[in-house]
Amino acid sequence: MAKDALMDFDEAIERFEPVLGFEVHVELATATKMFSDAPNFFGGEPNTNVTPVDLGLPGSLPVVNEQAVRYSIQLGLALGCSIAESSRFARKNYFYPDNPKNYQISQFDEPIAFEGEVEVELADGTIFQVPIERAHMEEDAGKLTHVGGATGRIQGAEYSLVDYNRAGVPLVEIVTKPIVGAKERAPELGAAYVQVIRDLVRALGVSEARMERGNLRCDANISLRPWGQEKLGTRTETKNVNSFRAVERAIRYEIQRQAAILAAGGTITQETRHWHEDTGRTSAGRPKSDADDYRYFPEPDLLPVVPDPALIEELRASLPEAPVARRRRLKGEWGFADLEFQDVLNGGLLDEVQATIDAGAGPQAARKWWTGEISRVANAQDAAPGDLVSPQHVAEVIALVESGDLTDRLARQVLEGVIAGEGSPAQVVESRGLKVVSDLTAAVDEALAGQPDVLQKIRDGKVQAAGAIIGSVMKAMKGQADAARVRELVLERAQQQ
């Protein structure tokens, strides 16, 4: 692969205006597929979660999943869209072996949701309004595995295997209008937009929205035009950019690549491009033109979708708070500094911190544990912090520290036990013998109270005076305590008494 010529990013922005557009596919977390009663579960033995409908067997017919329609309406409303009184499915005709009927049932000229707007906040608080053209329902295709080639790609493969477990999984595709005005912040805005969509579908509970699992897939359209020109430039569509960081990098790369071509007097080829995470580059895929002819026509096997207006209003009334508004509210309520709040956001820990505070912990303690110790362990284990420990348990640990039952060091041990699956914090305290701390604390406090003169010496910085207290504590504990720990505790309690 020859290296693309790239223009310096700042120079590119100086010369050209970037215009963005996104197609985000969201897999809906329904129990069954879009048009069949097969379980909506991708994975497991290939071709087991299938019915005649998912295999496109002769004579089989699709039936619309009502839950998918409800989810799509919720999503449409959350995107600020109008919900169509009547929307219709169409057939998108193209031959490909992962497409069991050789047509995909999608929505074409009559989508369920249209004309919306999403508020996107950048790290420094700058707000952008991203215009939404439409959100429509469709079915996913099966998954091809190319066998025998060196690269796992179709080129050079001896044969391909197809798994239809994913065929018919319900999708909503969210399409933006051209996004202008972001200038040098275009890459950042792209990532922030996709994150807003992720947060939104999670808040609605309509999708798992795990980008790494393909629950949320982003295609980024990028074009450049000379400043002042009204006509949009030729766009490329970079497929499957599947992390926020990748969205940002891919946009930046395409801006630099296209700018270099345009500046050299070349023209941009309208095509799909593939993002390569390892090299940080995009490469040409298949040429795409507006003349691609999918021979769309209304799906005659399905009736138009005509949702009850009362249902739409019910779903509208039950919409959760918009992610940007929620962030703004929580930041104020918790009294976090900008950097503190940014830490939480960057870690994707907003939900965890909130749940921990809801479980009784103080905001600063909750923030500290999640962005600190838990994130550190998660990083080391290559896991998501939220998958390691529940907010409830974190709140319990924080409570134990605040009551003096645990020191910070011991609390980390308790947490380690909880993460290792040894049970709740209380159970770990018990099983790891950390429970003595409670008794120990009482003994220390008693000894300190009994020798106020020594206490005063310790407070005055005469640390060696602690020896007398340690001795009486060890005596009281009948030798069943770790002298070092007793010493630590004596010094700690002495300052708190």
Partner 1 sequence: MTHDITTLSAAALADALVARDVSSVEATQAHLDRIAAVDGDVHAFLHVNQNAIAAAKAIDSRRAAGDDLGPLAGVPIAVKDVLCTQDMPTTSGSKILEGWVPPYDATPVAKLRRAGLVPLGKTNMDEFAMGSSTEFSAYGPTHNPWDLDRIPGGSGGGSAAAVAAFEAPLALGSDTGGSIRQPGAVTGTVGVKPTYGGVSRYGAIALASSLDQIGPVSRTVLDAALLHDVIGGHDPKDSTSLRQEWPSFAAAARDGLQADSLKGVRIGVVKELAGGDGFQAGVTQRFQETVALLESAGAVVVEIDAPSFAYAISAYYLILPAEASSNLAKFDSVRFGLRVTPDNGATVEDVMAATREAGFGPEVKRRIILGTYALSAGYYDAYYGSAQKVRTLVQRDFTAAFEQVDLLISPSAPTTAFKIGERIDDPLAMYLNDLTTIPANLAGVPGMSIPNGLAPEDSLPTGVQLMAPQREDARLYRVGAALERLLEQQWGAPLISRIPNLDAAQQSAAEEGVI
Output 2 or 95, the one with its CB closest to partner 1. Answer: 95
Give, as ranges, the residues between 117 and 176 that touch partner 1 (CB under 8 A). 160, 162
Does 308 sit near partner 1 (CB under 8 A)? no
Phi, psi values for residue 38, rounded to 5°:
-70, 145
Q: Strand 297-298 relative to strand 89-93: parallel, antiparallel, unpaired?
A: antiparallel
Does 177 sit near partner 1 (CB under 8 A)? no
Output 305 or 357, the one with its CB closest to partner 1. Answer: 305
- The answer to whether 457 and 465 are in contact (CB under 8 A) is yes
Q: Which stretch binds partner 1 (CB under 8 A): 10-18, 55-63, 327-335, 422-430?
A: 55-63
Q: Which of 228, 265, 300, 433 binds partner 1 (CB under 8 A)?
A: 300
Bridge partners of 39, per DSSP, are: 32
Q: Which of 15, 41, 46, 60 binds partner 1 (CB under 8 A)?
A: 60
Instruction: Name the residue with tokens 């739409």.
Output: 312
Q: Which of 117, 277, 301, 387 binds partner 1 (CB under 8 A)?
A: 301
Q: Which of 59, 228, 433, 461 binds partner 1 (CB under 8 A)?
A: 59
Output 65 or 354, the one with its CB closest to partner 1. Answer: 65
Q: Which of 15, 25, 101, 210 binds partner 1 (CB under 8 A)?
A: 101
Does 102 sit near partner 1 (CB under 8 A)? yes
- The answer to whether 76 and 85 are in contact (CB under 8 A) is no
> Token pair of 83, please?
């919900």
3-class DSSP assignment, residue 328: helix
DSSP string over 141-174 = --EEEEESSSSSSSTT-SEEEEETTSTT-EEEEE
CB of 164 to partner 1, least distance (A): 8
CB atoms within 10 A of CB 326: 15
Q: Which of 175, 232, 260, 302 binds partner 1 (CB under 8 A)?
A: 302
Q: Which of 58, 125, 433, 479 binds partner 1 (CB under 8 A)?
A: 58
- The answer to whether 358 and 390 are in contact (CB under 8 A) is no
Using CA atoms in the order 222, 228, 230, 231, what is the torsion angle rounded to 10 degrees? -50
**Alpha carbons 393 and 380: distance in angstroms, whole number:** 20
Output 91 or 367, the one with its CB closest to partner 1. Answer: 91
Q: Which of 1, 150, 264, 291 binds partner 1 (CB under 8 A)?
A: 291
Using CA atoms in the order 182, 186, 191, 194, what is the torsion angle rounded to 10 degrees? 50
CB of 1 to partner 1, least distance (A): 23
CB atoms within 10 A of CB 415: 22
CB of 146 to partner 1, least distance (A): 11
Q: How far is CA 19 from CA 244, 258, 340, in A?
A: 18, 12, 32
Output 52 or 266, the one with its CB closest to partner 1. Answer: 52
- Applying CB under 8 A, the residues found at the interface with partner 1 are 52, 55-64, 91, 93, 95, 97, 100-103, 160, 162, 291, 293, 295-297, 300-303
